[in-house]
Amino acid sequence: MRWLLPLLLSSLMLLALSLSAAGAASRPALHGVGSQVRLPRPVPRVECKRPGTLELRRFEDGSAQLRCARRLLVRVAIPG
């Protein structure tokens, strides 16, 4: 039972280290006094007058199209 204590302490230290590294990576880096922090863009919204006709077409290359009553609303392409 006594040999489990060092294992517990080392696992708790690794957990604390990984959490602090993940927190540091998610914070924006400020490079100087007048630097600006980029905010995420707002998500664009699309309207469909007849929601029952919404159709999502997915293709083998990973791209997709969102259609409303045969009208193309959104096309999503995967780069690569």
Per-residue pLDDT tens over the stretch 8-45: 888 888 888 887 766 555 555 555 555 677 788 888 88
Q: Are 57 and 32 in contact (CB under 8 A)?
A: no
Check residue 66 and give its pLDDT.
94
- pTM over the 0.75 mark: no
Both structure tokens of 24: 């540091």
pLDDT score for 12: 85
Which residue type, as a one-letter code, is found at position 76? V
